[in-house]
Amino acid sequence: MAEFKTFNGTAVSWADITLSVALTGGPVVLDIDIVDLSWNSTRSRGVQMRGGRKFARTRGSTEHTASMTVYRSGWRSLVRELINLAQTLGHVYGGIVNYGDVQFNILAQWTPIGTDEIKVLEIRGCVIDDVGESLSEGDDADQVALTLNPMQIVEIIDGVEVALG
């Protein structure tokens, strides 16, 4: 029986997923050997009360979060491109190259099992806020966990860009 990975809660085969990372002002990185990509958008709204009851709400603000886990080989490919662009952009402080300020977009395309629909997701304006690595004994390949800080998360449905906020 085939085992299907979940991609933000959707059952798909990794063979059905295409991912690319486009560095803002730099190249598109295709060979990042991704293990997992997760994202979330949350809208926080204020309320106006009258007589102890809610009678109006504000538009609020939207917070976008994302994370990605990659194999170490993929991390090396990605971080090398981040380092090159960071140097070009002058993100060098005290002789240390700061790749955490380099922005990039993630484009994911996939077909959910049992459909012919191609889902398209763009996670825009990402920077890396956290890099988690560990070494442990075992049969699995080394992985690197990345916490991303995106500016916007957009799905493209029937050619229309849509977002929570």
The structural domains of the chain, ordered by start, are: 5-42+56-162 (2.30.110.20)
Write out the two tokens for 108.
């994911």
Residue 138's Cβ-side half-sphere holds a number of Cα atoms within 13 Å equal to 7
57-68 per-position pLDDT tens digit: 999 999 999 999
Whether 53 has a pLDDT exceeding 80, the answer reads yes
The pLDDT score that the predictor gives to residue 120 is 95
DSSP state of 99: G
The pLDDT score that the predictor gives to residue 49 is 94
What mean pLDDT is predicted for residues 33-62? 93
Q: Cα–Cα distance between 107 and 150 in angstroms, integer?
A: 13
Among 9-18, 43-52, 72-81, 128-137, the range scoring the smallest mean pLDDT is 9-18
Q: Cα–Cα distance between 14 and 7 in angstroms, integer?
A: 9
The pLDDT score that the predictor gives to residue 1 is 40
91-122 per-position pLDDT tens digit: 999 999 999 999 999 999 988 777 788 899 99
Q: Whole-model pTM?
A: 0.86
Whether 145 has a pLDDT exceeding 50, the answer reads yes
The helix or strand, by DSSP H or E, that contains position 88, with its residue range, turns out to be: helix 72-89
10-40 per-position pLDDT tens digit: 666 666 788 999 999 999 998 788 888 999 9
Write out the two tokens for 152.
């916007």
Q: What is the 3-state secondary structure (H, E, C) of 46-65?
A: CEEEECCEEEEECCCEEEEE
Write out the two tokens for 54.
């809610």
